[in-house]
Amino acid sequence: MYIHLDTDALDALDAAEAYAAAVQAPQDAKAIASAYADAVAYRLAVRHGQISAASILGISQPTLSDRYRRHDRQLRRRVDEGAHYLDMTYPGWPDRADPDILDMSSATRDILDMAAIHPFEPGVEPTPAFFTFIETHGRERAVEHAFEVGPGETYDDLTRLWADLLRARQGQLHERRKG
């Protein structure tokens, strides 16, 4: 793993700030590496099962399970944050999205673009909501809201979790309309 420390940027800070930033850098790198390892363990567990994934990685099953659960909780929290953003920005968005064609790797079938179409119609050219979000808020925020993959993640993971949330929301809407 390579860590680039921008010493020119550090030199521009006062001594106390530069020292604090330099001390924090290895801790940040360790957190990023750990999150990446969690994502890899998660991806392998989804694909091969936890026992096989632990064997492939050469780690104990309890360690694999801890990494899997930690990453799963983090992904679900990010999807919930993304759903909250959609609730505030595109009220009624679950009615406009189709979990069966959702594809978080697509520029036109991701959750942001489906939410922005009013109403959802297959074949309608969607607004570029994902690209607008990236321009306005940045890629890091897109990752925080599960609109974009983070290090070591796959679009399949995001697609599956968004589709699960979408089906649950659509089921709740259907139940409220019946009742």
With CA atoms as reference, report the closest residue to 104 among 70, 79, 138, 122. Answer: 79
What confidence score (pLDDT) does residue 124 get? 62
Domain residue extents for the chain: 7-178
Summarize pLDDT for 56-84 with one digit per residue, the tens: 999 999 999 999 999 999 999 999 999 99
pLDDT digits (tens, 9 = 90+) for 127-139: 578 888 888 899 9
For the record, the structure tokens of 52 come out as 């096989």
- Who has greater pLDDT, 4 or 59? 59
Task: Report which of residues 84 and 28 the model is more confident about.
Answer: 84
The tokens describing 153, both together, are 């993640």
pTM for the full model?
0.77
Across 157-175, average pLDDT = 88
